[in-house]
C-alpha cells in the first residue's frame, strides 16, 4: 500500500521539520509545494490524502480535482480561504488550529486598545513636533469609566476580557451562540449586537469571517457608535468596511481604530486608512511570537497524524 500522503500547499515558516517528523513517524509521507493559486494546488496535490494550507485557495474546483483528499488543515484560526460548504458536500473534513496564539492575539489587542485609549501616538507626534503640554489632545476618560466590549466570546475574546479586567474596564460581550452562563463566567454583561455598537467605549472583534459577518462593521454601524469609541480588529479583515471606517474617522464619528488585519493584504498604498487620524495599523502580526510559530506547526502536524491514523480531527470546523 502507498503511504498516506500529506502535502503542504504553501507556508512562510523557516522550515517544516516538525511536520515532517510527525507525519513520517506515523507512517505517512510529506511533500512541500509553493502554491499561490487554485491551479497550483491542483497541479501539485493531485494525489494528496491531506493538505496543510496556509494561504492557498481551496475552492470547490480544487476539492473536486483532488479525489483522494479527505482532510484539509489550515495553519491558523481563520478558514475563509477554504470553501467549507463544498468541503462538506464532498465529504472533506476541514480543521483549523484555534489555540496556538491566544495569548499573543489577546496581548496585541490590548496593546492597540491601551495605546489608543491613552492617545500615545498623538501625544508622541505632538511632542516630536515641539509641543509640550501635560494634557492630551482630546478628552481622555479613565479606563474604569469605560465599557470594553467584545464581539465574539470564544477563546481569544475571553482572554482579552481577562486582560481588560486588570485595567479596570467594565466588561461586556456579544455572542449569539453562547449560553448566559458563559457571560457570567467571563464577568461580562451580555449585549445584543445593536447594544454592543451603541454602548461600547472599546469594541474589539473576535469572530470568524463568513457571508453573514462580512462588513459587520458597516457605515451604518459606525454611525451608531459613540463619537468617543475606539474600534479594534485583530480577527479577520473582511469584518470591517475599511473605506467606510476611514470616512468615519475623518468625519470624527468615532475616536480611533486599531487594526492588525485588512480586507486586502498587504493594504494598498493608496488606501485612505493609511491617512486616517487616530489610527494604529499593524501588519497582521498579532499572532506572532517565537513560541507561537513552533506551536502552530506542531498542532497542525498532529492533526495530520490523526488523519493518517483514521481519527477525527481535534478541531473540525465543518459538519
Concerning whether 215 is annotated as a catalytic residue, the answer is no
Residue among 64, 118, 265, 275 flagged as catalytic: 265
271 is catalytic: no
Catalytic residue among 104, 236, 263, 302: 236
Q: By three-state DSSP, how is residue 84 classified?
A: helix
What backbone torsions phi and psi does residue 281 show, to the nearest 5 degrees? Answer: -120, 125
In this structure, the number of other CB atoms found within 10 A of the CB of residue 250 comes to: 12
With beta carbons less than 8 A apart as the criterion, state whether 10 and 55 touch. yes
Rg (CA), the chain: 21
Query: How many angstroms separate the CA atoms of 178 and 173, rounded?
Result: 11
Catalytic: 236? yes
CB 62 within 8 A of CB 19: no
Catalytic residue (one of 284, 295, 298, 314):
284
- C-alpha cell read off for 280: 494604529
- Pairing state of beta strands 202-205 and 279-281? unpaired
Report the side by side order of strands in the sheet with 202-205.
Answer: 189-190, 170-174, 147-151, 202-205, 230-233, 256-259, 279-281
Q: Which residue, chain included where needed, has cell 478541531?
A: 315
Catalytic residues: 236, 265, 284
Amino acid at each position: 500500500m502507498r503511504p498516506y500522503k500529506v502535502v503542504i500547499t504553501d507556508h512562510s515558516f523557516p522550515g517544516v521539520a516538525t511536520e515532517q517528523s510527525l507525519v513520517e513517524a506515523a507512517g505517512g509521507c510529506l511533500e512541500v509545494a509553493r502554491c499561490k493559486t487554485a491551479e497550483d494546488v491542483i497541479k501539485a496535490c493531485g494525489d494528496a490524502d491531506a493538505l496543510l494550507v496556509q494561504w492557498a485557495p481551496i475552492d470547490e474546483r480544487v476539492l473536486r480535482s483532488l479525489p483522494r483528499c479527505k482532510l484539509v488543515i489550515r495553519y491558523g484560526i481563520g478558514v475563509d480561504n477554504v470553501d467549507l460548504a463544498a468541503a462538506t458536500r464532498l465529504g472533506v473534513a476541514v480543521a483549523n488550529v484555534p489555540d496556538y496564539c491566544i495569548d499573543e492575539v489577546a496581548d496585541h489587542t490590548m496593546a492597540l486598545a491601551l495605546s489608543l485609549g491613552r492617545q500615545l501616538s498623538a501625544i508622541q507626534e505632538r511632542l516630536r513636533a515641539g509641543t509640550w503640554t501635560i494634557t492630551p489632545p482630546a478628552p481622555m476618560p479613565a479606563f474604569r469609566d469605560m465599557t470594553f466590549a467584545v464581539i465574539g466570546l470564544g477563546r481569544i475574546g475571553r482572554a482579552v476580557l481577562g486582560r481588560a479586567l486588570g485595567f479596570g474596564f467594565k466588561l461586556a460581550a456579544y455572542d449569539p451562540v453562547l449560553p448566559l452562563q458563559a457571560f457570567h463566567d467571563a464577568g461580562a454583561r451580555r449585549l445584543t449586537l445593536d447594544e454592543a455598537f451603541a454602548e461600547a467605549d472599546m469594541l474589539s472583534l473576535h469572530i470568524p469571517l463568513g457571508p453573514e459577518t462580512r462588513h459587520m462593521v458597516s457605515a451604518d454601524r459606525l454611525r451608531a457608535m459613540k463619537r468617543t469609541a475606539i474600534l479594534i480588529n485583530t480577527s479577520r479583515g473582511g469584518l470591517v468596511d475599511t473605506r467606510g471606517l476611514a470616512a468615519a474617522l475623518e468625519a470624527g464619528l468615532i475616536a480611533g481604530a486599531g487594526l492588525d488585519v485588512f480586507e486586502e493584504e498587504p493594504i494598498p498604498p493608496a488606501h485612505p486608512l493609511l491617512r486616517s487620524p487616530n489610527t494604529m495599523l499593524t501588519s497582521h502580526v498579532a499572532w506572532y511570537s517565537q513560541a507561537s510559530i513552533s506551536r502552530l506547526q506542531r498542532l497542525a502536524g498532529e492533526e495530520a497524524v490523526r488523519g493518517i491514523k483514521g481519527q477525527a480531527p481535534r478541531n473540525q470546523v465543518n459538519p
